[in-house]
Amino acid sequence: MAEPLRRKLSQELNVLNGMALLLCVGYVLLVFFAYLFGSLFLRGAAVMVGVSVFAWLVVSRRITVELALPLLLLASSVIGIALLNSSESEYRSLFLILVVISSAAIAWLAFEERLTFEVFELPFFVLLLFTFYLVVLGGYGAFEFNSLLAGSSRNVYSSILIACAFSYYLSRVYRGQPIPVWPFFLLLLLSFPVYSRSGILIAGALLFMVLVRKGASALVLFFIISLVLIGASGEYLTDVFLNYTNFDKGLETERYNIWSGYFYSLNLNSFFAGVPLDSVSIVDAYGGNPHNAFIRLHALWGVGVLLFLGILAYSFFRMVEDGRYDFAFMLLLVVARAFFDIVFFFNLADFFVFPLVFYFAFRGFFKSQYSRGQIA
C-alpha cells in the first residue's frame, strides 16, 4: 500500500512542478515580449497569469502569511486613493496593484518549486548573451539600445539587465552554488555601450560585491589586472569612458529639476492624495515621467506609498539581523536604481527583485537545506 501511494504522490508532485514551470516560464516570456514590443495586451496577459498564480497559492495554502498579508495590506491601503486617481492616471494606479501581486506570486512560486534556475538564472544568461551579440556583431550603441524596446529607453533595457543580475545572484545563493565573477564582469563591460550611467555604476558595485565575497585575494588580483590594463591602454579607456558613455555629461541630470517641480506642487491635500503628474508642468514636459519610482507611486497612491517604504525598511533590517549584508547592499542598489527611474516599483520586471523587497517573507528559503547546497 505504501509504495503505490508514494508513487501517486510523486506523480502528483511532478505534475504540480510541471504546471508551476509552465506558468513561471510563460510569465517571463510574456514580460520580455511585452517590453520588446511595447504591447499592452502582453502586459495585461502577464499580470493576469501572475494574479491567477497568487489566487492558486492562496487557495492551496502554499503561500505564507508573511507574504500574503503585506500584499493584501498594501492593496487595501491604496485602493481608495487608486480609485480616486484612476481616471487621471488612465487606470495605472489600479493596474500597479495587480502588478505587485502578480510579481510577488511568480517569485514565490519559483522559490517554492525550486525553479529559480529556470526563472532567474537562465533569463540572465540569455539577456547577457543577447546583449553581447547586439554589441559585438550588431554594432549596437546608445542610439540603437535607445530604440530597441518599443516605447522604452536604453535605461529600461539596462535596468532589466541589472534586475536579472540581482535574481541570478539570489538564485545561486539559494541553490548553494558558487557565484562566478565573469558574468558580472561581462555585465559591467556591456553596460558601457548601453550608455546608462546608473547601470554602469550599479554593475560596477555588483562586481565589487562579488569580488569581496570571493575574498581578498580575488579582489587584489582584479585590481592588479585592472591597473595593468589601464596602464597598457594609456588614454584609450579614459577617452572611451568620457566620450562614449553618458558620463561625458558629468553627474548633472534634469531629474533634479523634475523632482523639485513635483515637491513644490505639494500641499496638505496632495500629500495625502497624490499629485496628477500632468499637472506638474516640468513633469508633463517629459511625457509625464518623473524619473523616480517613489514619486510616481506617491502620485498614484498618495500617502499609501509610506506602507511600501516601511516594507523596504523592514526587509533591510531583517537582512542585517540575519547577517545577509550582501542582500542588504543589493536592496540599497535596487532602491538607488528606482530613485532615478520608474522601471522598478512597480513594473513587470519586479519579480526579479521581489525576494529582496519582501525578504522577511523569502528569508526562510535562504535558510533551507537546499540553499546550503545539501540538496542537489
More confident residue, 221 or 36: 36
Across 80-98, average pLDDT: 76
At residue 111, the pLDDT reads 94
| CA neighbours closer than 13 Å in the CB half-sphere of residue 72 | 10
Indicate the helix (H) or strand (E) that contains 149.
Answer: none
Give me the chain's average pLDDT, please.
81
What are the E-state strand segments in 144-238? none
Of 49-63, 69-83, 255-269, the one with minimum mean pLDDT is 255-269
At residue 376, the pLDDT reads 33
Predicted model pTM: 0.86
| pLDDT tier for residue 237 given thresholds of 50, 70 and 90 | low
For 174-186, how does the pLDDT look when each residue is reduced to its tens digit (9 = 90+)?
A: 999 999 999 998 9
pLDDT at 228 over 90: no
pLDDT at 27 over 80: yes
At residue 10, the pLDDT reads 46
At residue 3, the pLDDT reads 53
Of 93-97, 102-106, 241-245, the one with minimum mean pLDDT is 241-245
Provide DSSP, 290-354: -S-HHHHHHHHHGGGHHHHHHHHHHHHHHHHHHT-HHHHHHHHHHHHHHHH-SSSSSSGGGGGTH
- What is the C-alpha to C-alpha distance for residues 211 and 218, in angstroms, rounded to an integer? 6
| pLDDT tier for residue 109 given thresholds of 50, 70 and 90 | very high
- What is the C-alpha to C-alpha distance for residues 311 and 153, in angstroms, rounded to an integer? 29
pLDDT at 331 over 50: yes
Of 48-52, 59-63, 240-244, the one with minimum mean pLDDT is 240-244
| Highest mean pLDDT pick, 57-66, 214-223, 279-288 | 57-66
C-beta neighbour count of 207 within 10 angstroms: 20
Across 233-239, average pLDDT: 57
- What is the C-alpha to C-alpha distance for residues 52 and 56, in angstroms, rounded to an integer? 6
pLDDT at 371 over 70: no
More confident residue, 289 or 304: 304
pLDDT at 5 over 60: no
At residue 374, the pLDDT reads 44
Across 60-81, average pLDDT: 85
At residue 89, the pLDDT reads 61
Indicate the helix (H) or strand (E) that contains 51.
Answer: helix 40-59
- What is the C-alpha to C-alpha distance for residues 252 and 4, in angstroms, rounded to an integer? 68
Across 202-223, average pLDDT: 82
Peptide linkage before 346 cis (omega within 30 of 0): yes
